[in-house]
Amino acid sequence: MGKFPYFTEDHEAIRETARGAAEEFKKTAEEADRKHDYKLIEKNLKRLAELNLIGIHISTEYGGEGLDLVGHFVALEEIAKGCLSTAFSFNTQRLAMDAIRLGGNEEQKKKYLVPACGGSIISFATTEPEAGSDVAAIKTSAVKDGGQWVINGTKHYITNAVFADAHVLVAKTSPADAQRPDFTAFLVDGDNPGVKISKVEDKMGATATPTTEYFLEDCRVGDEAVLGTVGEGLPLALSALEIARIGIGTQGLGLMQSAMQEAIAYAKERVQFGRPILRNQAIQFHIANMSSRVEIARNLLFHAAWLKDQGLPAAKEAAIAKLFATEECTWVCNMAMNVFCGPGYTTDYPIERFFRDSKVLEMGGGTSEIMRMIISREEVGKF
Ligand SMILES: Cc1cc2nc3c(=O)[nH]c(=O)nc-3n(C[C@H](O)[C@H](O)[C@H](O)COP(=O)(O)OP(=O)(O)OC[C@H]3O[C@@H](n4cnc5c(N)ncnc54)[C@H](O)[C@@H]3O)c2cc1C
C-alpha cells in the first residue's frame, strides 16, 4: 500500500498499536468462534480500552483521544484482520458512543462516555422482531407516567447487550393512534430491573460477538435518560448508523485482506502438476482481482470517513462504501476458498470461518438492498 492521503502520523501510530492487539486476538479467534465465546470478546474490548483505542474520536474532555473517525477506522481495519467478532463488537460500541456524542447533553457525556472510553460497554438498539430495515415500525413504547417514562417492548439482534453496562435504545413516544408516529432515544442503565436479557443467538458466523434479545418490562427511567430531544430519536439513530456503515465496510476491508493473504501463502506452497499453483496465471488473476477490491474499498471507505470528519454530507458515499466493501468481502472470501479448495472447506484453515464471518457484514447497519435504496435516492432525489 502506498502513502494514503487521509493518514497522518497519529493514524500510523494507532495502526501500529491496533496491529499489535490484532495479533493477540488472532491467536484466540478460532477458539472464540468454535466456542461462541463472547466472554473473550468482552475481554478483548477491555484490552482495546487499555490501549486507548476505544475513544479515538471522542474528545479528551470525555475521556477520549480527541482524534477523528478516520483514526477509529484505521484501528478497526487492523482489528478485523485479527478477529472479526471483536471488530464487530468494537464498532457497535463506537456506534452507541456516537449516539451519545451526537445527541447527549453534558451530564450524559460525562456519565457514559468517560467510562465507555475506559472499557464499560454500551449497546445500541433500534431492531425489533417487526422492525428490521423498516425502523419506523418500532413497537417498543415509552409512556410518561407521573415524572417517569415507562418502557415496554422487545429488542432483538442487539450486539453486546448481554454484557452491556448501559443501553441506547429507540422507543415510540407518540400515542398508538397518532397520525405521524414519533420516536425518542433513551439511555438505560444495564442494571435497571426492567431490562431482561432473554437470549444470545446461535449464529452462522461472527459467532463470538454476542447478538442478544432483551425485553423491556415496565422499565422506568427519568427525563435524564432521554437522549437528545423527545420525538427526535430516529434522526439521531440514523445519523449514528450512517457512521456505523463505514465501520461495517471497514471490517470487510480488514477481513478481505486476511483472506487474500491466506490465499497467497497457500498458493505459494500448494504443488499440483509439478509446480506451486500460484505459477498458474488463473490463480495470479484471482489474487489480482482480490487486491483490486481491497484498494477500491479502502479508497471508498476512507473518503467517506474523511467527509464525515469534515462535517460534510456523506450519505451516498457511506452507503456506496458499505455496499462495495461488504459484498466484495464476501466475493473475496469465496475466491480465497476457491484457491484453497478442499482444505479451505475444513476447519484446518481459517478460510471457512472468514467465509462464514463475511456474510453478516452485508446485513448489519442496513442491508445491501437498503444501501442501494439510499444511493438511488441520493442520486435521483424525490420524484
Ligand atoms: C449479527 C447481527 C448483529 C446485529 N446488531 C444489531 C445491533 O447492535 N443493533 C440493532 O439495532 N440491530 C442489530 N442488528 C440488526 C440488523 O441491523 C438487521 O438485521 C437489519 O437491519 C435487517 O433487518 P432484518 O434482519 O429484520 O431484515 P428485514 O428488514 O426483514 O429484510 C429482509 C430482506 O428484505 C429486504 N428489504 C426490506 N425492505 C426492503 C425494501 N423496502 N426494498 C427492498 N428490499 C427490502 C432486506 O434488504 C432483506 O434482504 C444485527 C443483526 C445481526 C445479524
130 lines ligand 1 (CB under 6 A): no
Q: In this structure, are 166 and 281 located in the same domain?
A: no
Residue for cell digits 482444505?
343
How remote is the CA of residue 132 from the centroid of ligand 1, in Å?
A: 4
CATH number of domain containing 222: 2.40.110.10
Tell me what pLDDT residue 178 has.
84
Q: What is the predicted pLDDT for the residue at 3?
A: 60
Name the stretches of the chain with pLDDT < 70.
Answer: 1-3
Residue 3 lies inside a defined structural domain of this protein: no
Q: Are the beta carbons of 244 and 99 closer than 8 angstroms?
A: no
**How many structural domains does the chain have?**
3
Same domain flag for 376 and 292: yes
Q: Is the CB of 332 under 6 A from ligand 1?
A: no
pLDDT, residue 175, reads: 81
Distance between Cα 127 and ligand 1 center (Å): 8
**For residue 128, is it within any domain?**
yes
Q: Do the domain assignments include residue 1? A: no
Query: Can you give the CATH number for the domain in which 376 is found?
Result: 1.20.140.10
The residue whose C-alpha atom lies closest to atom 38 belonging to ligand 1 is: 133
* 20-26 CB contacts, 8 Å cutoff, 24+ apart: 20/51, 21/47, 21/48, 21/51, 21/53, 21/78, 21/79, 21/82, 22/78, 22/79, 22/80, 22/81, 22/82, 22/83, 23/82, 24/82, 25/79, 25/82, 25/83, 25/86, 26/81, 26/82, 26/83
Q: What is the pTM of this model?
A: 0.97
Residue 202's domain comprises 124-233
Cell readout for 178 is: 397518532
> Are 309 and 211 part of one and the same domain?
no
Query: What is the distance in A from the centroid of ligand 1 to the CA of 44?
Result: 26
> Which residue's CA is the closest to the ligand 1 atom numbered 25?
132
Residue 236 Cα, ligand 1 centroid: separation in angstroms? 18
